Amino acid sequence: MTALKIGLTIVFVLVSIAVVGIVLIQDGESGGLSGSISGGGETFWNKNKNRSAEGKIEKVTKYLVVAFMVLSLLLNLPVFG
């Protein structure tokens, strides 16, 4: 195993643990289809969601998932085989 593959594997494991943790922290979506039909999606909270802690957690989740996918693709390249 090369040093680069070991380093990427360690980062991959840390990102994986972070993704699991941050997904468990997030609140569940309870509105669903019925909330969008009745107009529940247009509340003040949903309009300013990006400024809240929940919006920041969602943004971090997106970045971590992208890092997870990129690392998983890199680790499966034939160069590291």
DSSP collapsed to 3 states, the chain: CCHHHHHHHHHHHHHHHHHHHHHHHCCCCCCHHHHHHCCHHHCHHHHCHHHCHHHHHHHHHHHHHHHHHHHHHHHCCHHHC
- Answer whether 0.85 is exceeded by the pTM: no
Task: Tell me what pLDDT residue 41 has.
Answer: 54
Task: Tell me what pLDDT residue 66 has.
Answer: 97
Task: Tell me what pLDDT residue 15 has.
Answer: 97
pLDDT tens series, the chain, 81 aa: 689 999 999 999 999 999 999 999 987 765 555 555 555 555 555 666 667 888 889 899 999 999 999 999 999 998 876
Task: Tell me what pLDDT residue 6 has.
Answer: 94
Task: Tell me what pLDDT residue 69 has.
Answer: 97
Task: Tell me what pLDDT residue 55 has.
Answer: 83
